[in-house]
Structure 1
Amino acid sequence: MRNRARDLGVDLTFVPGSGPAGRITHEDLDGFIARGGAQPATAPAAGSTFARAEGTTEVRIIGLRRKIAEKMADSVRRIPHITYVEEIDVTALEELRAHLNATKAKDQPKLNLLPFLARAIVVALRDQPQINAHYDDEAGVLTQHAPVHLGIAAQTPNGLMVPVVRHAEARDAWDTALEIARVSGAAKDGSAKREELSGSTITITSLGTLGGVVHTPIINHPEVAIVGPNKIAERVVVRDGQMVVRKMMNLSSSFDHRIVDGHDAAVFVQRIKGLLEQPATLWMG
């Protein structure tokens, strides 16, 4: 049977067998050839676990989804990205966050990672104002911004949007959390105003619990940097020669290499790392 099928150029994998235990007979092979290699009428019905799928579906990318796609493509085309990844021990930060949430007032929001990361970015930018900037590559002009208008990349029913927390430098953890929730909610329900979706000077992109191990975020043009926290997970690490379990998080950040050198990108991320690992320093000075 195998020799005959090989001589005929037929792959027995596709020949349905009617013999005991599905064994392929000469009649099965003859019938398969007579049908031109097509499946018999007794092939699995549509909806069966192993039914063959046929056809294609064309979906037009239009409206907001197309604008998002064009903006992403433009950012990648125009900006030479450099991505720097660092792991951060957030054990102390998570302990502080849990304490603050357990003792918060009724009218205060529950704190997640973002208000602390926002503050760390604000503090780190003091020494590197060129990262809180817009770059007009056609005019060759870098505009550095004194206020930190923090973009928060948010997934909405209409696609990816970047609502803006204005003057993040002037907000404490509670106020930052409230404003993140407000502008993100407005973006998701479609009530956000134009000014709430534009004017960011640096962006955070977070996938929350789906944050993965590492990613390579795309800069929100004309900004020159984007910061991307990944998921927090318990890992075994070495501390003072001992193996201990710590809560660790990778931070994946991308920079416009025309403006930010690799050394400066590393210094910026290391500053954020130091602040998050010693969270008491976030609001000191």
Structure 2
Amino acid sequence: MIASIPSSRSSQFIRKAYLSLFFLFLFLPLSMVVVFAFNDAPYPMPPWKGFTLDWLFANGEHGRTGLWFDTELRDSLWNSLIIASTVSTLSVLAGTANAFLLERCDFRGKNVLSSLMLVPLVIPGVILGISILAFMSRIAQFADNNFGMELEFLRPGLPLVIFGQFAYIVSITTLTISARLKRFDLSLEEAAQNLGASRSAIFMTITLPYLRPALLGAAAIAFLLSFENFNTTYMLTGSDAPLTILMYGRMKEGATPVINAISLALMVLSLLFVSFNLLRKSGQD
């Protein structure tokens, strides 16, 4: 609504009521998770039984193992961090190369290639995971039957999860970096070249600093998408389960407040990450 146009009290009330209900719907479930991470009860839901830190720091006392001493949960978190870091790094590197290919090069079939790049984004994650699993398993079986080679990285496990997530996240990083590269003023590179600068020097001192915000943004998006991914990961995971798969398995078996505790920890880490980015941007401004 344009600020200069006056609005009636009823419209202001409706707008404020809508915003209040929207944020209540958005944050009430999260607040319940935070509160019941400290509930002194063996179940992650009401009623309130008292305050406790057992679900964070208990080391087997009273039959409770908190987040800090839950080895299986810590290992799954470590697996998720490894997967997300690897996927984000590979996606940014490949996305940067794709962006230069699509924005700086002219070749036959360029439009078709650009369209095909969007296909993984519209395919359901479960279908994408099943397709990759079937394809890679067939290759591994062929290599085993004909050459006696055990290609374990093509079997369900962390390498296959990384490959499956990379298959669609790289499209997102490519679009993010391409959007920034498209607005780049080529006259800056031409002027530097006329002054005798090499291609590598031009890229490191002019192009790369200009792309840095897009690269950091693409890396952050890729990391978060990889960390929270479930559908594709579920089809490709092996014995080393990432955090999302482990939490899903525990929810099926009967959840405890440890699930609330790990959710609280992830919310705190996300808040710190967002705060750091906001402070970094304000410092640059």
**Whose radius of gyration is greater, 1 or 2?**
1
Q: Same fold (TM over 0.5)?
A: no
Higher share in helix: 2
How does the TM-score come out when normalised to structure 1?
Answer: 0.24
Structure with the greater relative contact order (CA < 8 A, sep ≥ 6): 1 or 2? 2
